[in-house]
Amino acid sequence: MAAVAVVGIAFVLYSAFSPSSTQAASPAAADSGAKAGTTAAAGAFTARTLLGEQVAVPGSRPSVLFFFSVGCGGCGPATHALAQAQQAVGTKANFVAVDIGPGETEQDITDFLTANQATTLAYASDTNTSLISAYQVTQLSTAVVLDAFGKPVFRAVEPAAEQIRAELAKVGA
């Protein structure tokens, strides 16, 4: 199972960064087949919560994007840290878990968020790699903090909740 996840992730990353790729990063959908996200411009998309609420990124406030795959060992604890940061910051920022695992279903994502005590996070599925391309994500378990205008101002792999809160405070959240 782990080997399949590694191969799948390698394929997604190769597709996103391959010079021969014909994938456009800007107006493509975050996942035109998934129920949890569409894009209008480079890096802009709409995620949703498990309760069905829509979350626009960029929106009117800063955002934290966390790129994960259900099969990623370090992604679970880092997703939990993101949920802890969300509890501390509240509605001053958007918090979105972005699944980049090919073939992972909405139920897989829901189960992952539930298992990692992160059910308050919004989520999106990036099966066509437009978001990992737009935000230049090269590693699973990467968090990207955006200011209210959608400009990336910080990125880290598996950051602690305190680090996320500190970076959000720098952009007014």
Instruction: List CB contacts of 77: < 8 A, sequence separation 6 or more.
Output: 116, 158
- Separation in Å, CA 122 to CA 4, 16, 65, 76, 139: 26, 23, 10, 15, 20
Q: Which residue has the higher pLDDT, 31 or 167?
A: 167
Q: What tens digit of pLDDT does each residue of 97-122 get?
A: 999 999 999 999 999 999 999 999 99
Q: What tens digit of pLDDT does each residue of 35-85 get?
A: 344 334 568 999 999 999 999 999 999 999 999 999 999 999 999 999 999
pTM score: 0.78
93 φ/ψ angles, rounded to the nearest 5 degrees: -150, 160
